[in-house]
Chains A and B, each alone.
Chain A
Amino acid sequence: MWWRSASFILDHRLQEDPPNNIASSSKEPDTLSTLSPPQTHSSFMAAADPFNPIPNPKISAYYQTRAAHTAVVTSDWLAQAQAAVGHHPDDSPAPQTQLLASPSASGKSFCVINEFNNWRKQPDLAEAVAAIRALAAVIRASEATTMMELEIELKKASDSLKSWDTTSISLTAGCDLFMRYVTRTSALEYEDFNSARSRLIERAEKFGEISCKARRIIAMLSQDFIFDGCTILVHGFSRVVLEVLKTAAQNKKLFRVFCTEGRPDRTGLRLSNELAKLDVPVKLLIDSAVAYTMDEVDMVFVGADGVVESGGIINMMGTYQIALVAHSMNKPVYVAAESYKFARLYPLDQKDMAPALRPMDFGVPIPSKVEVERSARDYTPPQYLTLLFTDLGVLTPSVVSDELIQLYL
């Protein structure tokens, strides 16, 4: 289930941290949040069970998954512990009654969250696609006989998915997109309910292909903007940006890439690995070295966790800083994002979104009196972005709200 390289680097510090790190008291349950070994289950029951529909609300499951997929050294010992315990996420455990809405709904919400978790763990699959596939499974398993009933079931499932992880924007956006599609399909007056239902299932399954196709379209669109001899600064591990760079390398373009380290996930190390495999000259920088090297840089390329209504993006912590520096030095900032990441949010400042916290590891124990900023993401306003490459085409930030209005109104 955890797709990782075979070299299993046990980080001693990570193992020692749970007893030593007293600052983030919730760190311990975090590291166990994605599995529930029976022996620790009783002590962390309220916080960290994956079959509990609502995980610890302080920790963002989305960013945990991302860290697991893209970071170099993470909780490997978790996988080891998991294997040792012999725990299989597909087992259906006893229902956790205190946190479920109702017994009848528990069966369904169970299904959805399970299904979603299964899909989500594949590293190449986008979060929104996993959500839509989970909702397709709900349709398949449903016993509704009219479109209205089906819609209501889907709405419940979608709400439970959204509340499971309130911090993931692409999850919310994916659910909303699918719900919107469902309501529009039912409006087309299909005489036969079964044919409508099978059409919905088929479309939802095709959506997974759209995700891969979207990445290729984005890669094609951005080829013209990468010229020979250019230097690209990349932040965070975005699969879309990696696809863009891969395609450019395959087209025999000569360019070099600066990767920021990307603390605390250290995604830059992973990305530089991938790029080195493609024979692209890569240089690693610590996050603070961005302004120092910005005058050598020709353009900045980032992905996005979500694109908001103003045309700004929500991305890994550090993106806003880089965009500010690039803007002040007149360097273009390009964003590569698929269209299903467009969300109906309008944050006015950094704190305007649901907080997405994640455990920060400083490598040394922090005294408990010292507060730690644990947010995993920031918001970059649209005036610092030059262009967005999406599968809908090349867009300027002002087009995003237009697209959203067309969809939702």
Chain B
Amino acid sequence: MPDVQVLVNDFINKLRKRKIEGSQATSRQTAELLRSVISQTRVPYTNQAGALIDAVRAVGEQLIAANPVELAVGNIVRRVLHIIREEDLSLATAAVAGLGLSSVSDDEDDAERDNHPVLSAAVVAAAARSTLRPPSLQTLLEDVPDSGAVPHTSSSGGDSEGKSKSADKSSRSRKLKHDVIEALNELIQDITTCHELIAEQAVEHIHQNEVILTLGSSRTVLEFLCAAKEKKRSFRVFVAEGAPRYQGHLLAKDLVTRGLQTTLITDSAVFAMISRVNMVIVGAHAVMANGGVIAPVGLNMVALAAQRHAVPFVVLAGSHKLCPLYPHNPEVLLNELRSPSELLDFGEFSDCMDFGTGTASPLLHVVNPTFDYVPPKLVSLFITDTGGHNPSYVYRLIADYYSADDLVVQQRPPTAS
């Protein structure tokens, strides 16, 4: 445990100092950290899933607090929690099914088991299934079990007396951790290979003699365009430079080395050139539950230009960028302001920006936001590693990857209202 704590503190420091750049790197490191946390957690004999969930929540809460704007951290924490619940559920249903068979065969051993052998199995399975799904109309009239009930029902279902039960339980305790770590390994694998999966779909969307517009630099977009190039599509790319970091310059250079015809333009020229463009393809920092996109600054303007000229606006995002939260006031709450030095040279402007002389506050303010919020109605298509989706379909993907109980990652119970 102290070993893991050192790792956790290390990672928190890195997050706080913004030393990790990019959501892919952040997600991968978060997943690896949580994997070590899980493998080092001691699980009790009963209610193992609950213990794992508590451990992950405790660490996850600290991680999210270290960098709340980096949504990928929260996404991975919630994915891990969902994986734990899922694995526990599949083990429980397997155990119950096994016990159902055994209780039928052993029914002369215990008379009162005959009262509800089949009933308890079916009801337990149904109840357990319903805890994993988000609340829905179907479960409205049923009992709403509390979040600790998933291991509870499985252990109570397993409580129907059986001599084979103790053997089942010990094998189950090893299995749960093992299954969760396997699933986590798959998750890490998915995160690292998301670019390839997205790039595979490039050839369906980019056609011959097209003009593509992009802004700034995104590795996903680079791989996407190169994949289409390899399939012998010939097309041209307009790259907007993406002030103030000018990462568009790097992207333009990369594209040229791969043999693509590239044109570099300023951000202000986007509106002028958009009418000659067939499609806009960009990456994203995060995708919110309503289909809105947190993207590098300048992309809201590009999206508006694209809508004005009826150009499809395509967003490429790996599934680790999918966040189950709904944004309220994202321009302020999900944004980070970076250093003004990226815009202005402190040497020349020191007299305007100096706090020390005379007046209390300087007359020149510099605002350098990192992100922009693009509302869902401006996005035409999301391309994720699972395929292409409409913005209004994002809620389905979220239901697949996350559980409703994990939206608020807090250790202390929420104050009842």
Interface residues on B, range: 20 to 34
| Chain B positions 278-322 with a Cβ under 8 Å from a chain A Cβ | 289-291
Q: Is the CB of B136 within 8 A of A403?
A: yes
Contact A406 B138 (CB under 8 A): yes
Q: How far apart sit A7 and B122, CA to CA, in the bound complex (Å)? A: 57
Q: Shortest distance in angstroms between B125's beta carbon and chain A's nearest beta carbon?
A: 11
A392 touches B392 (CB 8 A): no
A207 touches B135 (CB 8 A): no
Asked if B137 and A177 make an inter-chain contact with CB atoms under 8 angstroms apart, the answer reads yes
Residues 215 to 272 of chain A near chain B (Cβ within 8 Å)? 216, 219-220, 224-225, 227, 247
User: A396 and B118: CB pair below 8 A?
Assistant: no
Which residue of chain B lies nearest to A216 when distances are taken between CB atoms in the complex?
B417
Assess whether B140 is in contact with A227, with CB atoms less than 8 Å apart.
no
- Contact flags (1/0) for B369-407 with A, using CB distance below 8 Å? 000000010000000000000001101100000001000
A340 at the interface (CB under 8 A from B): yes
How far, in angstroms, from A207 to B290 measured CA to CA in the complex? Answer: 30
When A394-B289, A396-B290, A398-B395 are in contact, do A177 and B119 touch as well, CB less than 8 Å?
no
Q: Does B134 contact A (CB under 8 A)?
A: yes
Q: Name A190's closest neighbour in chain B (CB-CB).
A: B119
**Interface 1/0 per residue, A300-340 and B, CB below 8 Å:** 00000000000000000000000000000000000000011
Give B116 Cβ to nearest chain A Cβ, in Å. 8
A210 at interface (Cβ–Cβ under 8 A)?
yes
Given B136, B141, B291, which contacts A406 in the complex, CB threshold below 8 Å? Answer: B136
B58 CB-CB contact with A under 8 Å: no
Residues of A near B126 (CB, < 8 A) are 188
- Across-interface contacts of B136 in A (CB, < 8 A): 392, 403, 406-407
B417 lies within 8 A of A392 (CB): no
Smallest beta-carbon distance A357→chain B, Å: 30
Chain B contacts for A407, CB-based, 8 A: 136-138
Q: Which residues of B contact A181 (CB under 8 A)?
A: 141
Task: Determine if B350 is an interface residue (Cβ-Cβ < 8 Å).
Answer: no
In contact, A224 and B328 (Cβ under 8 angstroms): yes
Q: Does residue B355 face the partner (Cβ distance < 8 Å to A)?
A: no
Q: How far is the CA of A181 from the CA of B290 in the complex (A)?
A: 30
In the docked arrangement, what's the CA distance between A211 and B175, Å? Answer: 41
- B326 CB–A CB distance under 8 Å: yes
A395 within 8 A of B: yes
Determine the distance from Cα of A393 to Cα of B328 in the docked complex, in whole angstroms.
15
Known: A392-B136, A394-B289, A407-B136. A189 touches B395 (CB 8 A): no
CA distance A339 to B329 in the complex (A): 26
Complexed CA–CA distance, A19 and B142 (Å):
53
Query: In this complex, what residue of A is CB-closest to B414?
Result: A220
Flag whether B123 is at the interface (Cβ < 8 A): yes
- What B residues does A190 contact at CB under 8 A? 119
Contacts of A225 in B (CB 8 A): 328
Contact B326 A387, beta carbon cutoff 8 Å: yes
Contacts of B328 in A (CB 8 A): 224-225, 227
Most buried by B among A220, A391, A393: A393
Find out whether the CB atom of A394 lies under 8 angstroms from the CB atom of B119: no
Chain A residue contacts of B393, Cβ below 8 A: 398
Given the known interface contacts A189-B118, A407-B137, the answer about A219 and B290 at a Cβ–Cβ threshold of 8 Å is: no
User: CA–CA, A178 to B329, complex, Å?
Assistant: 39
Q: Which of A191, A247, A406 contacts B137 (CB 8 A)?
A: A406
Across-interface contacts of B376 in A (CB, < 8 A)? 396
In the assembled complex, the CB of B153 is this many whole angstroms from the nearest CB of chain A, namely 15
Most A Cβ at <10 Å: residue of B126, B134, B141: B141
Q: Which residue of B lies closest to A330 (CB)?
A: B375
CA of A225 to CA of B136 in the docked complex: distance in angstroms? Answer: 23
The docked-state distance in angstroms from the alpha carbon of A404 to that of B137 is 8
Interface residue ranges of B107-145 to A (CB < 8 Å): 118-119, 122-123, 126, 134-138, 140-142
**15 A-B residue contacts at CB 8 Å?**
A188-B126, A191-B119, A204-B141, A207-B141, A216-B417, A219-B417, A224-B328, A391-B135, A392-B134, A396-B291, A396-B392, A402-B396, A403-B137, A407-B137, A407-B138
What are the nearest 3 A-B pairs in CB distance? Answer: A398-B392, A407-B137, A181-B141
List B residues at the A interface (Cβ < 8 Å). 118-119, 122-123, 126, 134-138, 140-142, 289-291, 326, 328-329, 376, 392-393, 395-396, 404, 417
